Structure 1
Amino acid sequence: MPRERPPGTSERGTGRPRVIIVGGGIAGLASGCYAQMSGMDTRIFERHVLPGGGCTAWARKGYVFDYCIEWLLGTAAGNEAHQVWRELGALDGKSVRNFEMFNRVVGEDGRAVTFYRDPDRLERHLLELSPEDAEPIRAFCRYLRRFTELEGLFSFLKPKALLTPREKLRTLRTLLPAMGLFYRTATTQMESFTERFKDPLLRRAFPFIFFQDHETFPLLPYLFNLAAAYHDNAGFPQGGSLGLSRSIERRYLELGGDISYRARVRQILVEEGRAVGVELRDGTRHFADHVIGACDGRTMIYDLLGGRYTGPRITRLYTDLMHRPQTIYHGVVSAFVGFRGDVAPDAPHSTTYLLRPEDVERLPGVLQRSLVVQLRSRYSDGFAPPGHSVIHCTYFSDYAYWKSLRQDSRREYRARKAQVAEFIRDFLDREHPGLAERVEVLDVATPATHHRYTGTIDGSILGWKSFSDADDVLTKVVNKDRMRLPGLAGFSMAGQWVHSGGLISAAASGRFAVQFLCDELGVPFRAWESEEREAWHPGLLGHLPQLDKPVRLDTRS
């Protein structure tokens, strides 16, 4: 976007505002789609070679290693999350795979508990495991039944600050009958709830319903997402993570947007207190009437803008809360295993193993003493060649540990990655005898890998944790500050560092940012569903990069 005119004036009489978006993740792509639909001309600058940020995949020897989605809120029709995905074209031509269970948790002694999405089936199963825990089991399942009857707990279509009085009243009428339920489940921490269990497996397993322990969560998000799964509203879309990003990228381009890859922004240009464009690492400058920052929050505020526009809320987030324990998500170590054949047909698609002490000793940098094993070829077609399968193993790990290794000694860093690979191979062979002999490729990514390719602080997978001390501050950043920074005009923020949560929150944040911008400009916000109906196929993933060199490992084949 060349500097053809001062900010705020029309381009060749079209009256179309020019918008630059920093970051081509889900929030950036969503911002671009909604801005294009609302009559703006946009350009996205993305540092990587693919869209989606952390919502991505890569390839090795014919296998697709799907990195992000474990479940996607909004896969069933008739709710606000689904409407957002339809507007963004994210589900165009795709089938959705739903599972009867959310996750299985296996204790150190081999006992297992399965978290079924159906409250009746879940209650029967839990009572069979531990009849003496009937009281907390029935309480949890009673709550779950109530949640399956509710709608509209979270809004993804419009920020609260822009709701009309009638819309506020309608929202209040929807939520008021369930306020008592919301209060009880939002103020009861999962950690305190599990203290009511006598069975040690149930006490340890419940926080791992969502694969890893989210630590700060109360009961409410567990119940909300289980209820969504019960209604087929938390499924897995064909094409997976990169498939989702590619579909939104396609929608954006069809709407007339422009995206530049390998385009790393060095600074956001500011003149007289107004953002007017960006300067890239190669020195080129691009100008616009408005800039939306949809990248890592700290990088955006303190590097690209030099820390000049903060204020009490931003300062509290990035100089206080960010450094408190359990306020931002850990990074993860991912190990992908591609192998010939498959495992037993009745093997669950997702299992969290609570590790034995000797396993913890062997696994570098492991937090929470747990390992998640997911049979990814059962999630979507095209993740493995015919007659082959792929497993994704993950665990929370400390970014500083891996960063230090990589900075001090690349050889030692690679050795630790090889140690992860060796452990994973041996562990899977223990659970599925004979699998080690069929392994063809084993690939390991660390929190340092995530940071290198996305720029996200500390390799965090989701940014701020929901239900942490950051929540109240972020609510005010959205609804009081309108996703803006103090003292800086012409600039908005989007993404999980301003609107915490999963992928649907990132997408909704792009919608919100454009709605605030339209309100400021006095132009109507417009959005409509994509009409693309081409059946999804793996070829739509496009070229997948190889990323880091694969781990050197004797696979016993």
Structure 2
Amino acid sequence: MAGDAGDAWSAEEREAGGSPRVIVIGAGIAGMSTGCYAQMNGMRSRIFEKHVLPGGCCTAWSRDGYIFDYCIEWLIGTADGNDAHQVWRELGALDGKTITNFEMFNRVVDETGRSVVFFNDPDRLERHLLDLSPADARLIRSFCRDLRRFIGIELYPFLTAPALRTVRERAATLRTVLPAFRLFWRTSATPMHRFADRFQDPLLRRAFRNIFFQDPEGFPLLPYLFNMASAHHHNAGFPQGGSLGLARSIEERYKALGGEISYRARVERILVEDGRAIGIELRNGRRYYADHVVSACDGHTTIHGLLQGRFTGPRIDKLYNDLLHRPGTLFPAVVSAFVGVRGDLGPDRAHSTTYLLSSEDAAQLPGALQNSLVVQLRSRYSDGFAPPGRSVVHCTYFSDFAYWKALRAVDRKEYRAKKHQVADFVRNFLERRLPGTAERIELVDVASPATTRRYTGNHDGSILAWKAFSEADDIAAKLVGKDRMRLPGLRGFSMAGQWVGMGGLIRAASTGRFVVQYLCDELGCGFTASESQGGEPWHPGKLGRLPQLDRWSARGDTRT
């Protein structure tokens, strides 16, 4: 069954003199970025999205007037004057928005209530850590000295696809990297675990692992220093409107450029003829044709679902037949518990705190992978997340996808009971840490890793795909650089998003830019990009109508 009769997508061959047609699968940040840059470069694009909202994992949902913002904890590129910010300006992502910046990255509290605050200012951080543990002065000064050096470095390689960088661009990168080569080499070769284990203070040994809220395991020092340095420059802030707000702004920019998005349109397979992708077929049987197809959805679904595993090579096989199933290669899935609270939780409280749990407490969290719980006061991040006079708290922990998948598949009643167990624990834990909170809690809304998989399609419910600094990182870099984001033996097709460009929203957005740059190079035309001129002030009404994630939530007594 062909697409809508008479439209530009119903014929295999485009009209004589017509613009090149590009179909994009997935309206996440990477997919919409691809569409925006395609439109900027004279192509005609159309995005097909299975959900009712843009953004993929960069999303939110609502219940009883509360907005539960799921994705962004910090966004690289929120300050003027760097290449990451330029990408967001081109995509209209920050149009009309204020940015919230925090003086600290995270606070870590142990079971006894003793805490450490990771301030973004290295001088303040150093004084604070020395007060906590004078015996660790040498390590503390070493870390803060490295942070000062990273603050003096600006390196955001998100504008030009690796294989297309000019001699001037490569020289500019070398001028930044070479003077700090030993710093980059040493901090990328030193695992945070090994560094943290050298502290004498038991809290610091555990706290440094949790600067990024929970321990990603396997990360070296470099990303911690890079992101804290970015936050120091206000280049890792929180944009007004949050995750779905970011997606809606890019959607608005895409439509203003003339792009089309079809929602509730699940792609069933990619049509291939004589080794070339020629279009897509939806679940309802409708077919749409294009000169180029870009998949910006889950990598495993793309390789083994939409393309039936027909176009692979050593790198793809290594990723999807080996590393995908190797423990520790994917970024962990999370359980999210959003808490709606009457009143405020206090302006002096940290916006983000990792609580280190006893083994007894951690055992009460279904499927928990670590003995910790992250508590974020999301109403401090942006306006509009809660009704007047109320607040939203977001509690998360790394969790085992297989545990939740099996539970949901075998026993839905027990699955719901485990969600209630999470809600019960969060309610009781907040009361212990913030006395008087429990009686003001109006609802708790829990999303499991199985929920993430169901709504986004991400393999094993991972919201960041391949773990950075793993073996997959090196292979993904070659997919973007050497392979130009293409698959062996398949013309007219590219992959974008975190499954080729690694996790993080700025990386996802940059892959859309790179795909179109490579396509322009193939077509023999110059790539161009322009900044959005949108300036209307942001307001929560721009989020549009939000769905409820599930009918389920816990109100009042969570056992009722």
Normalising by structure 1, we get a TM-score of 0.98
Distance (whole Å) between structure 1 residues aligned to residue 302 and residue 203 of structure 2: 43
CA distance in 2, matches of 1:178, 1:210: 24
- In the other structure, the counterpart of 1:59 is 62
Distance in 2 of aligned mates of 1:362 and 1:150: 43
2:52 to 49, 52, 56: 49
**Counterpart for residue 119 of structure 1:** 122
Which moved further from structure 2: 171-180 or 349-358? 171-180
Alpha-carbon separation, structure 1, partners of 2:39 and 2:347: 46
Match of 1:508 in 2: 510
Kindly provide the amino acid, as one letter, of the partner of residue 108 in structure 2.
V
Question: Once the 2 structures are TM-superposed, how far is the Cα of residue 345 of structure 1 from its aligned partner?
Answer: 2.1
Q: Which residue of 2 aligns with 1:109?
A: 112
Q: How does 1:154-193 map to 2 (within 5 A)?
A: 154-193=156-195
- Any idea what SS the aligned residue of 1:498 has? helix
Kindly provide the amino acid, as one letter, of the partner of residue 297 in structure 2. Answer: C
| Separation (CA, whole Å) in 2 of partners of 1:6 and 1:432 | 62
Pair 1:404 & 2:406 matched:
yes
Counterpart Cα distance in 2 of 1:156 and 1:484: 19
Among 57, 71, 74, the alignment partner of 1:71 is: 74
In the alignment, what sits opposite 2:421?
419
Q: Which residue of 2 aligns with 1:31?
A: 34
Give 4+ residue runs of structure 1 displaced > 6 Å after superposition: none
Deviations 1:384-440 (A, max 9, x none): 011100000000001110010100011010000000000000001111111111111
Structure 2: distance between partners of 1:183 and 1:552: 49
Question: In structure 2, what is the Cα distance between the partners aligned to 1:5 and 1:549?
Answer: 42
How many Å apart are 1:166 and its aligned residue? 2.3
Is 339-348 or 283-292 further displaced after alignment? 339-348
Q: CA deviation at 1:463?
A: 0.1
Deviations 1:131-173 (A, max 9, x none): 0000110000000000000112x40001221012222122212
Judge conservation of contact 1:96–1:236 (CA < 8 Å) in 2.
yes
Is the counterpart of residue 323 in structure 1 residue 325 in structure 2? yes
- The equivalent of 1:21 in structure 2 is 24
The corresponding residue for 2:468 is 466
Q: Which deviates more from structure 2 when the two are superposed, residues 187-196 or residues 243-252?
A: 187-196
The equivalent position to 1:231 in structure 2, one of 233, 247, 259, is 233
- Aligned pair partner of 1:137 in 137, 140, 156: 140
> Hey, what does 1:340 align to over in structure 2?
342
Aligned-residue Cα RMSD (Å) equals 1.2
C-alpha distance in structure 2 between counterparts of 1:344 and 1:473, whole Å: 46
AA at the equivalent of 1:435: T
The answer to whether the 8 A contact 2:445-2:554 is kept is: no
Contact kept? 1:436, 1:555, Cα under 8 Å? no
The whole-number CA distance in structure 2 between the counterparts of 1:100 and 1:89 is 26
Q: Alpha-carbon deviation of 1:552?
A: 3.9
The CA distance in 2 between the partners of 1:372 and 1:501, in whole Å, is 20
Cα displacement (A) at 1:325: 1.9
Q: For 1:274, which of 269, 273, 276 is the aligned residue?
A: 276
Offset, 1:525 = 1.1
Secondary structure of the 1:497 match is: helix
Aligned length: 553
Question: Which residue of the partner structure matches residue 446 of structure 1?
Answer: 448
Partner residue in 1 for 2:255: 253
Instruction: Provide, for residues 84-122 of structure 1, a one-character-per-residue CA deviation record: whole Å limited to 9, x for no partner.
Output: 000000000000000000000001221100000000000
Q: Is the Cα–Cα contact under 8 Å of residues 443 and 554 in structure 2 kept in the other structure?
A: no
1:389 maps to 2:418 = no
- Give the conservation status (yes or no) of the 8 Å contact 1:157–1:508: yes
1:354-401 CA-partner distances (Å, limit 9, x unpaired): 111221121111111110000000000000011100000000001110
Are 1:94 and 1:238, in contact at CA under 8 Å, matched by a contact in 2? yes
2:363 alignment partner, one of 344, 361, 364? 361
Tell me which residue corresponds to 1:534.
Answer: 536
Q: Measure, in 2, the Cα distance between the counterparts of 1:509 and 1:268.
A: 20
Percent identical pairs in the alignment equals 67
Flag the 1:336–1:4 CA change in 2: closer, same or farther, 3 A: closer
Deviation at 1:6, TM superposition (A): 4.5
Secondary structure at the counterpart of residue 441 of structure 1: strand
Distance 1:76 1:221 in 2: 18
SS in 1 for 2:513: helix
CA contact (8 A) 2:423 2:554 kept: no
Residue 293 (1) aligns with residue 306 (2) = no
Counterpart of 1:81 in structure 2 is 84
Aligned partner of residue 288 in structure 2, secondary structure: strand
Can you give the 5+ residue segments of structure 1 that lack an aligned partner in the other structure? Answer: none
Separation in structure 2 between the aligned mates of residue 331 and residue 4 of structure 1, nearest angstrom: 39
Give a deviation string over 1:188-227, Cα, whole Å, max 9, x none: 1101111210001000110110111111210000000000
Opposite residue 59 of structure 1, the aligned amino acid is: S
The alpha-carbon deviation at position 5 of structure 1 amounts to: 4.9
Structure 2 stretches lacking a partner, 5+ long? 1-6
Matches of 1:151 and 1:554, distance apart in 2 = 49
